[in-house]
A and B are shown apart, each in its own frame.
Chain A
Amino acid sequence: SQQGEEDPQALSIQEGENATMNCSYKTSINNLQWYRQNSGRGLVHLILIRSNEREKHSGRLRVTLDTSKKSSSLLITASRAADTASYFCATPLGGADGLTFGKGTHLIIQP
């Protein structure tokens, strides 16, 4: 099964700075999703971008998708301490199948 790869694996920045995380995947997709997971908790769906979209915004989040490079990026602008979490990209296996998750980026926002 395909698997997304995020980089960096860990990122530490100062509050107020922008954070950028990247994700690469291996096969064709219908959509790509980004999730946030606070330590030891469940996942929160952040944003879904379809394969025919190149960029999508939601509040302080901006996601891009480059299907030719099979990559996506998640930008969090004006970061806050509450943004500290692990961020995962995920792609559907197809049909009603589950999601394949990347390894995740652990983001630390220092106050």
Chain B
Amino acid sequence: GAVVSQHPSWVICKSGTSVKIECRSLDFQATTMFWYRQFPKQSLMLMATSNEGSKATYEQGVEKDKFLINHASLTLSTLTVTSAHPEDSSFYICSANRLAGETDTQYFGPGTRLTVL
């Protein structure tokens, strides 16, 4: 159990276009999902916290108008990179919280590799 999927697994787009990435919890409900970004050979950096039915909370330095997050249901969160530019090329990973015992456990999706030409 506790599987998180992402779609697409990779995407190549032209500069200026928008790209939508989906994150789904397949066998559990997640009131909270998280979006991370990872540049090559670097660690993951939290971008935003996505709460079902409310606005996302963005980390400092992350442009909310550029990275639109929608958490429309308890199993789906989407990240839209608007007007993508080459510097947005990165590995985007989502995770979903599931209460396991006394502690929230985060389950990570397989990631989406975005390449902006």
| Chain A interface size, under 10 / 10 to 19 / 20 to 34 / 35 or more | 20 to 34
Inter-chain contact A101/B44, CB cutoff 8 Å: yes
B67 beta carbon closer than 8 Å to chain A: no
User: Size range of the interface on B?
Assistant: 20 to 34
- Bound-state CA distance A101–B44 (Å) is 6
Cβ < 8 Å to B, chain A residues 39-93 = 40-45, 48, 50, 88, 92-93
Q: List 13 A-B contacts (CB under 8 A).
A: A42-B6, A42-B109, A42-B111, A43-B93, A43-B95, A45-B107, A93-B46, A96-B97, A97-B46, A98-B46, A98-B95, A99-B106, A103-B42
Complex partner residue of B110 from A42, A99, A102, CB under 8 angstroms:
A42
Whether A98 touches B34, Cβ cut-off 8 Å, given contacts A41-B111, A42-B109, is yes
A44, B95: Cα distance in complex, Å: 11
Which residue on chain A has the smallest CB distance to residue B97? A96
Instruction: Select the residue from A1, A30, A92, A97 with max chain B CB neighbours within 10 A.
Output: A97
B108's partner among A1, A45, A48, A104 (CB-CB below 8 A) is A45
CB <8 Å contact, B113 and A30: no
- Give complex CA distance A92, B97 in Å: 12
Q: By the criterion CB–CB under 8 Å, are B110 and A41 in contact?
A: yes
Query: Of all chain B residues, which has the CB nearest A99?
Result: B106
How far does the alpha carbon of A101 sit from the alpha carbon of B45 in the complex, in Å? 7
Q: Tell me whether A40 and B103 are in contact (CB under 8 A).
A: no
- What separation, in Å, do the CA atoms of A99 and B107 have in the docked complex? 11
Which residues does chain A contribute within 8 Å of B83, judged by CB atoms?
none
Q: In the complex, given contacts A96-B104, A97-B46, A99-B95, what are 11 additional A-B residue pairs having Cβ atoms less than 8 angstroms apart?
A: A1-B59, A30-B103, A31-B103, A40-B111, A40-B113, A42-B6, A48-B103, A96-B31, A96-B32, A98-B106, A99-B44
